[in-house]
Structure 1
Amino acid sequence: MATGDGPPLSMRPFPVADKSPKSLADFIARVNALPGGFRSVTETSLEEELGARRDGTITTTGGRGGEEDAAQDDDVDMSDDANADDDEEDDDEDTAAKDPMTARMEVLRNIEIAEKTNMSPPSSLPPPSIASNTAMLTLDSLSLLLSKHNPTQASLTLSQQLRELVGIGTMGADRLDDANTTPAKTRDCEAVAAGWTLMEISRTRDAAEDAAAFLGAEMAAEGRYWEGVMGVRQAGWSVCRVPGGSGTGDASTGLGVRFGFSEAAPEFQRNGLAPIRRGDDGVPWLDMGRLGGTPERLVVTYERGGKVVGRAASQELRDDDGDDNEAGGDLQARVLGARNTIFAQELWHELTREARSLAAYDVHPDDEKRLVCAVDADARIIVELLPASSSSSSAAAQPHLNDHDENLPENTTAEAISLALHILLTYAHRCNELLRIRPLPPHVPRTRGQHVHTLLRPIIARLLYARSARSATQLVGNLVQTLRRAGVTGSSFTLCTPQPTVADFAAAAAGPNQPSAAVSLVRHMLQPTDFALDVALLPGGDDDDDDGGGDVSFTVRGRTYLVPVTATYYHVLAPAGAAVHALCAPYPDGYPDLAALADYLCVVAARALAAHYLRRRRAAAAGAGGAGAGDSAAAAAVQEEEEDKDKGQTWVLGALGTRIRHARDHDRPQLEFVVERDAAAAAAAEEEGEDGGAAALRLTVSTDRQSWTWSASNSENSAKETLEAVIDKVLQ
C-alpha cells in the first residue's frame, strides 16, 4: 500500500543514547581509564574544577597539562547541558561528513521500518530490505483478514503491533457477484466426482487383490523354504545363524547349515558353514560359494599297462550339478554332497602334503589335481579330485578307458583304496578330538602344529604286503611243484594271512576308557602286517641222523613295516632242534628282498634232497643185507658195505652238502643236486613287471655223463623218471 494511505507517522528522529555515566561504577571505571586515575586527583584540583564549572571556565591547576585537564574535565562533566552540547556537535560533524543522497535513502528506509514496526530497530542489526517489509505487510494483511473466520490460526502469524493497533477480526471480505453455476452443471460435477471415486475404488480393489496374491505367493514360498529347512533340521544337521549373512531375502539374519568337521584343518573349518538361500519360487538351495560352487569327489583309478583296470567313484547327484534353483532339488542331498565335497577337498589337501615325503616310493603329482602312485613297473594308482558331474563321465573324455567301468577286474582294489583313504582321514579327525578332550600332563603341550597325517603310506604298505605275499607264495609254490614233479610227493606248503575283524576287538572295547572296536581295527591297520608260509620240503623220517636227513620243515614269515622305511623283510623260522638248522641255518636278521630268500630256499632244498636220499641209500643197503643173506652176490655186497662202514669210507656228502659221492672209490658216479631259478622264466617275469625272484625253479641232478632236470614251468622238458629212480640207477 502507499505511504500516504497509512496512519500518521512520527517524524521524530531516533533517540541518541546518553553518553554520560549511568552509575557510580561506570564513573569510577572511566576515571581509572584516564592517565593517572585517582592518583592524579587532589583536593585542590577538585575544588578548582568545581569552581570552574560553577563559573563556566576551566583553568589549568594541579601541575597537569592543559590538554589533559581539558580532557579530564570533559569526561567528568556529567551534566545534561554538557552532554547535549556534545551530542549536537557530534551530529553536526556526522551530517557534514555524509553524502546527501545516502542520507536521503537512509531516511526513507527508516520511515518504512517505522511504518511496520512502530519502533526503532536495534543499532546492532542492519535494517531490513524493502522486499522483506512488503512481505511482512502482506502477511499481516492476510492474517488480519483470516482472523474474522479463524482467529486462533490467524493469530499465529499476526504481528503483535498490528493486533494492538486495530485488534482481531476488524477486516472482512464478501463476494460481490454469484458464480454462474447451473443445476445441470452441478449434476455433471457430481457425476464426474462419483466417477473419479469409483475409479479410485476400483484401483484400490485391484491393488488389494494384487497384494493378496503377492502375499499368498510369498506365504507359499516361505512355507516351502521353511519346510526344507525343517527337513534338514530333522535329518540331524545343525542349522544355525550365519554371521553377517542373509538367508531369506528380506530377513535381517540368515540361516545356514553346518556340515563341516570340527577337527579338520583350520582352513576347512571355516568353510564348513553354508547359508541356505531362498529361490524365487521358495525352493531352498545351498550356497556353496566358499567351496568353489561345484561339488567335487575323490576318484581312484587303477591302471596296468596303460589301461584302466579298476575305478572307484562315488555315486553322486545326477542333476548336472549347479542348477541349485531347480524345484526338484533335494536340500538334504545337497547338504550331504557339500559335506562330501569339503571332506574330499581336505583329503586331497592332506594327500598332496604327504606326497612330498613319499618321492622315494614313486609318488608324485602329475597335474594340479592328479596324484600318481606307482605300484610296480607296469601298474600305478591315480588319485584325482574331479567335479561330481565329470567323475562318472570322465571315462568318455579319456579314450583308453573301457566302456563299462562297472565290470573292470580291479574295481574292488580301487574301491578298497578309496574307502581306506576316507577311513584314515576320519581316524585322523578322531585322534585330534582325543588330543583335545583328554587331560594331558602339564608339561605336554596341546598345540598340534602342522602335523602331516599318514594316509598314503598305509596304502603303499598294504599294496607292498599283498605283492610280497603273492611273490613269496609263488616262489614257495614253484619249489614245491618242482619237487612234486621230481617224485617227492610229501612236499607241501600252507599260506596263513591273519586278518582281524571288528568282532575280534569288540570284547576289548567293552571296558571303560577303551577305544571302540572300529578305532582298534584302524590302529591295527597301521601296525606291521605279517603273513606266514608253513613249508614241508621232505617227508618225516628218523630225526636223529647227524646229517640232517629227517623231516625238513620250516616257516617263511614276511613282515611289512610302515616306518621308518616301508618295506617287507622275510624271516625263516624253525624250532631249535629242526633239521633245517643242521642243513643250512637261516640268517637270523632276515632277508631284505625276495631274491635273497629264493637263494636260501634253493640251497636248503638242494642240501635237504642230498641228505634225504643219502639216508634212504643207507637204509636200503641195510635192508638188503638182512633180506638177501642167502644170495652170495648180495651177501658179498652187504659184506663190502659193512667193511666200508667200519672203515668210515661209505657214501658221504660233499663239502657243500649238495653232492653224494663214494668216499673210497672215486671212479664211481657222483650225484650233484642243484636247485636254481630258471633264467628264461626270470627274464620273462621281469619283462612283464613281476618280481624275478619269484620265477619258476628247476631241480637238476647230474653226474659226469648225464643230467636230469625237473621244472614246474616247463613240464615238456622235464625228466620223465622220478628222482628216486634216477638215484637208484646211478648209485646201484
Structure 2
Amino acid sequence: MADITLPSSLLQPRDENEADTLLSVLGRIHDERGHFRHITEQGLQAEIAANENEEESSDTDEDEDSAEVDGAEGKDRREQLWTARAEMRQHVDSARNEALIALDFVSLLLSKDAPKQAELTMSPHLKQFIKPGTLAMDVWHNVQPDKEQQKLDDTIARSWRMQSLQASADSLLGAATRLEKNVRRETHYWEQVLSVSDKGWSISRLPRERHNLGVRFGFLEALGEFRDRGLAALRSDEDGNVLLDKGMGNNSKVLRVRIQKGDTIIGVSQMPDTSADSESALEARIRHARDSLYEEELFHEIIRESRSLASYGVDMRESIIRLPTRLSPTASLSASETHEVLIDLLPLTDIETKPREKQSEDAWAQAIALALRLFLSYTHRERLVRRSELPQPMSSAKRDTPVASIMRPVLTLLQHRTVLADISTYLQRIHKTLDAASVEASIETAPFDPALLRSAETIDALMQRGLTPIHSRLKVSLKVPHLSEALEFGIEVRTSISPPAFGSAMLVTSPIGLSRVEIPDIQELQDYLNTAIANALGQGIINKLTGWTLNDRCGVLGKANSNDKIGIEVHAGEDSAHDGLILRTPKDRFEWKAQDEMKQNGFWETVKQEVWNGA
C-alpha cells in the first residue's frame, strides 16, 4: 500500500492559537472529503499520482521565481520575528507586574500578624504610601440558620412589600383623582368659554400670553388707552370657574345725567338694574366691563370737548360737567329758575336700589344720556372711515387726535328747546292777555320733546339734526274786525352753535310794517311782538276813522291838525303780574289784566263806544 498523505486542508494556514487536536483534524477532513465511507484506497492513490505530476511540471516555474521570492520572504520573516519578540516581552512584563502586585497584596495582608516577615517582601512603593498592618483578615465560621429569625425576616419583608404596594395603589388612586378633578375643571372651563363665544363675544389668544385665551369686549376705534383695556384674559380658578383678568366687571361705572333747576334735581337718567340680570355671572361681568369701558371713554371724551366749549358756559366742578340749557342768560330769570345739565361718572355700587319717584324731566335726562352714547358711537364710525382711507403723506409733525363732537349737538338741542319753551310761554301769556280783552286770537307752538330724537331712523340722521341748524316754526293769528282774513305773525326759530352763527335767531314775518325781521334775542322778540300786536289792533281801529294815522313804531294813532291821540300798549313777557292790554283814548284809559276776571267790556266794544262813536 502506498503512503497516504494528509488532505490539502491540513496544509492550509490556520489560527496560531488553534491546537492540532485529533478532533480538529477529523473535522477538517470531514468538511473537505465528506463522510469516511466515501474514501477508498484506490481514490487516494490516484490523487497522490496526480499531485506528483503537477509538482514535477511546476518545479521548473518555481525555480525561476524562487530567487526573487527568497529575498522578500527573508525580509518579512525578520519583521515578524521582531514583532513577535516585542509582543513576548510585553506579555512577560505584564505577567511580572501582576505577580508583584499579588505579592504586595499578600504581604500587606500578612503584615497585620507577621509584620517583620511581610516587610521583607513588600515593595518600597507600597511601604511609602500604605502603612503596614492596614489590611487584615479574619475567619468566620458558618452560622447555622435560625428558622425563627428567617421566618421573622420573611414576615417583615412581606409587610414591607405590602406597604409598598399599598403606597403605590394610593399614589395611583390619588393621580386618578387629580386627573378626574383636572378633567372636570377643564370641562367646566371650556363650557363657560363656549357659552361666551356662542353669545357673540370674540375669543382669541392674548398677544403676550399665547397660552392663554382672552375675550375682546372693547371697541377697536376707541382711543389708545381704552382700546388696550378692551381685551381681558379668561383665567381659571381651582374649581374651573372663569375669571376675568384684573377684576374687570366688578367695579363697573355708569354715566349719569341730571337736570337741575336752581338747587333741585328735576330729572335723572335711567340707571342699569343689576339685580335683574338673566345672564350667567361671567357673561354679566363681561357686559358690565364693556359698558363701563364705554362709559369711561365717553366721559373722557366729554372732558376733552368741554375745554373747547368753555365760552358757551360749559365747565367742570368737583368731577361734574355742567351744561347750560341756554347760551345767553336772561335777566328776568332768577338763580332758582336757572336750568343746568349735570353729567358725572359714578360706580354701580353707588346707585340706590330703592325705587325712585318719576320726575318731570326724567325723559329729557334719559334722552340726553342716550344722545351722548350715540354720538360717541358715531365718532367711532368716523374714525373707522378715516382709517380706511389712504394715509396722508409721512411728516415729522405730530398729528393731534381731533376732539369728538359729542356735547356740541346736545348743546344745540338744549338751546333750541329752551328758546322754544320761552317763546311758547310768551305766546301763551299773549293769548291769555288778548283773551282777557275779548280779542279773538290763536297761537301755534312747536313743542320740542325727546320723541324728535327717537324719530331719527339712523344715527347719521340724528347727528345731522345736532350738527346742522335746527328749525322750528310758530304762529300767532289775530282776528281784527272789518278784515276778511286774520293777521298772522310767523316766527321761525333757527339754532346753531357752529360757525358762522352761534345761538338762536328768530325770523319774524309780519303783515304790518317790515315783512321779515331777524331778531337775535328773546327779549327783543317779546318787545317786537308786543309792538306788532298793538299795531295790528291799531290797524283795526283806524279803518273806521278818517284823518287818523298809525305810527307803527309805538302803536299810537294820531289825528291830523289835532293833539288827540289813541295809544295801544301790550305788556307781556317781563312779569306775568303786569301782563295786560292798555287802551288810551283822548278822554280815558282802559286796561285789561290777564289775571283779572272779566268785569268790563271787551277791547272792541270799548273801542266802538269810546272811539268810533265818539269820533
Report the TM-score, using the length of structure 1 for normalisation: 0.60
Q: How does 1:238-257 map to 2 (within 5 A)?
A: 238-245=202-209, 253-257=211-215
Distance 1:207 1:670, change over 3 A: same
Counterparts of 2:166 and 2:572, CA distance in 1: 105
Residue 485 of structure 1 and its aligned partner are, at CA, apart by 2.3
567, 574, 581: which is aligned to 2:503? 567
CA contact (8 A) 2:260 2:267 kept: yes
Deviation track 1:551-582 (CA, whole Å, cap 9, x = no partner) reads 421310111102136411111135xxxx32xx
Query: Which residue of structure 2 aligns with residue 437 of structure 1?
Result: 388
How large is the Cα RMSD of the aligned pairs? 3.8
CA contact (8 A) 1:670 1:704 kept: yes
Q: Secondary structure at the match of 1:480?
A: helix
Residue 603 of structure 1 and its aligned partner are, at CA, apart by 1.2
CA contact (8 A) 1:311 1:405 kept: no
Counterparts of 2:145 and 2:427, CA distance in 1: 128
199, 219, 237: which is aligned to 1:279? 237
720, 725, 731: which is aligned to 2:600? 720
Distance 1:241 1:112, change over 3 A: farther
Q: Secondary structure at the match of 2:471?
A: strand
Query: Which residue of structure 2 aligns with residue 307 of structure 1?
Result: 264
Query: Which residue of structure 2 aligns with residue 598 of structure 1?
Result: 526
Counterparts of 2:124 and 2:395, CA distance in 1: 97
Counterparts of 1:254 and 1:502, CA distance in 2: 43
Query: Which residue of structure 2 aligns with residue 197 of structure 1?
Result: 161
Residue 452 of structure 1 and its aligned partner are, at CA, apart by 0.8
Which amino acid in structure 1 is aligned with residue 272 of structure 2? Answer: Q
Counterparts of 1:207 and 1:562, CA distance in 2: 78
Deviation track 1:377-421 (CA, whole Å, cap 9, x = no partner) reads 43322222111211345xxxxxxxxx7425233221211111111
Query: Which residue of structure 1 aligns with residue 445 of structure 2?
Result: 495
Residue 541 of structure 1 and its aligned partner are, at CA, apart by 5.6
Residue 311 of structure 1 and its aligned partner are, at CA, apart by 1.8
Query: Which residue of structure 2 aligns with residue 380 of structure 1?
Result: 340
610, 616, 629: which is aligned to 2:538? 610
Counterparts of 1:703 and 1:112, CA distance in 2: 163
194, 198, 216: which is aligned to 1:230? 194
Residue 207 of structure 1 and its aligned partner are, at CA, apart by 2.1
Unpaired runs of 5+ in structure 2? 1-99, 108-120, 327-334
Q: How does 1:220-619 map to 2 (within 5 A)?
A: 220-245=184-209, 253-288=211-246, 294-318=251-275, 330-367=281-318, 369-375=319-325, 377=335, 378-392=338-352, 404-439=355-390, 449-489=400-440, 491-496=441-446, 517-539=458-480, 551-564=486-499, 566-573=502-509, 579-580=511-512, 583-587=513-517, 590-615=518-543, 617-618=544-545
Residue 721 of structure 1 and its aligned partner are, at CA, apart by 0.9
Counterparts of 1:314 and 1:655, CA distance in 2: 55
Query: Which residue of structure 1 aligns with residue 572 of structure 2?
Result: 677
Q: Secondary structure at the match of 2:243?
A: strand
Q: Secondary structure at the match of 1:6?
A: helix
Query: Which residue of structure 1 aligns with residue 580 of structure 2?
Result: 698
CA contact (8 A) 2:104 2:123 kept: no
Counterparts of 1:203 and 1:383, CA distance in 2: 68
CA contact (8 A) 2:426 2:572 kept: no
Counterparts of 2:396 and 2:509, CA distance in 1: 44
Residue 238 of structure 1 and its aligned partner are, at CA, apart by 1.1
Query: Which residue of structure 2 aligns with residue 508 of structure 1?
Result: none
Query: Which residue of structure 1 aligns with residue 10 of structure 2?
Result: none
Q: How does 1:157-176 map to 2 (within 5 A)?
A: 176=140
Counterparts of 2:425 and 2:509, CA distance in 1: 19
CA contact (8 A) 1:316 1:388 kept: no
Counterparts of 1:655 and 1:525, CA distance in 2: 39
CA contact (8 A) 1:287 1:293 kept: no
Residue 272 of structure 1 and its aligned partner are, at CA, apart by 1.1
Deviation track 1:292-347 (CA, whole Å, cap 9, x = no partner) reads 96221112222223232222243153499xxxxxxx95211211111111111111
Distance 1:660 1:374, change over 3 A: closer
Residue 586 of structure 1 and its aligned partner are, at CA, apart by 4.2
Distance 1:257 1:219, change over 3 A: same
CA contact (8 A) 2:266 2:360 kept: yes
Distance 1:680 1:261, change over 3 A: closer
Which amino acid in structure 1 is aligned with residue 468 of structure 2? Answer: Q
Counterparts of 1:362 and 1:454, CA distance in 2: 16
Counterparts of 1:449 and 1:522, CA distance in 2: 23
Counterparts of 1:294 and 1:239, CA distance in 2: 22
Counterparts of 1:3 and 1:356, CA distance in 2: 103
Query: Which residue of structure 2 aligns with residue 660 of structure 1?
Result: 557
CA contact (8 A) 1:435 1:446 kept: no
Equivalent residue pairs, number = 485
Distance 1:227 1:113, change over 3 A: farther
Counterparts of 1:205 and 1:293, CA distance in 2: 45
Residue 521 of structure 1 and its aligned partner are, at CA, apart by 3.0
Which amino acid in structure 1 is aligned with residue 473 of structure 2? Answer: A
Q: Decide which moves more: 201-210 or 233-242.
A: 201-210
Counterparts of 2:225 and 2:516, CA distance in 1: 53
Counterparts of 1:279 and 1:190, CA distance in 2: 49
Counterparts of 1:315 and 1:652, CA distance in 2: 67
Distance 1:443 1:591, change over 3 A: farther
Distance 1:241 1:655, change over 3 A: closer
Residue 500 of structure 1 and its aligned partner are, at CA, apart by 6.5
Counterparts of 1:602 and 1:256, CA distance in 2: 68
Which amino acid in structure 2 is aligned with residue 494 of structure 1? Answer: E
Q: Secondary structure at the match of 1:332?
A: helix
Q: Secondary structure at the match of 2:534?
A: helix
Distance 1:502 1:364, change over 3 A: closer
Counterparts of 2:194 and 2:101, CA distance in 1: 85
CA contact (8 A) 1:363 1:373 kept: yes
Residue 664 of structure 1 and its aligned partner are, at CA, apart by 5.3
Which amino acid in structure 2 is aligned with residue 715 of structure 1? Answer: D
Counterparts of 1:446 and 1:496, CA distance in 2: 49
Query: Which residue of structure 2 aligns with residue 154 of structure 1?
Result: none
Query: Which residue of structure 2 aligns with residue 16 of structure 1?
Result: none
Which amino acid in structure 2 is aligned with residue 225 of structure 1? Answer: Y
Counterparts of 1:524 and 1:679, CA distance in 2: 32
Distance 1:284 1:193, change over 3 A: same
Residue 476 of structure 1 and its aligned partner are, at CA, apart by 2.0
Which amino acid in structure 2 is aligned with residue 279 of structure 1? Answer: D
Query: Which residue of structure 1 aligns with residue 547 of structure 2?
Result: 650
CA contact (8 A) 2:535 2:552 kept: no
CA contact (8 A) 1:298 1:313 kept: no
Q: Secondary structure at the match of 2:386?
A: helix
Counterparts of 1:7 and 1:186, CA distance in 2: 37
CA contact (8 A) 2:491 2:508 kept: yes
Report the TM-score, using the length of structure 2 for normalisation: 0.70
Q: Secondary structure at the match of 1:672?
A: strand
Residue 533 of structure 1 and its aligned partner are, at CA, apart by 0.5
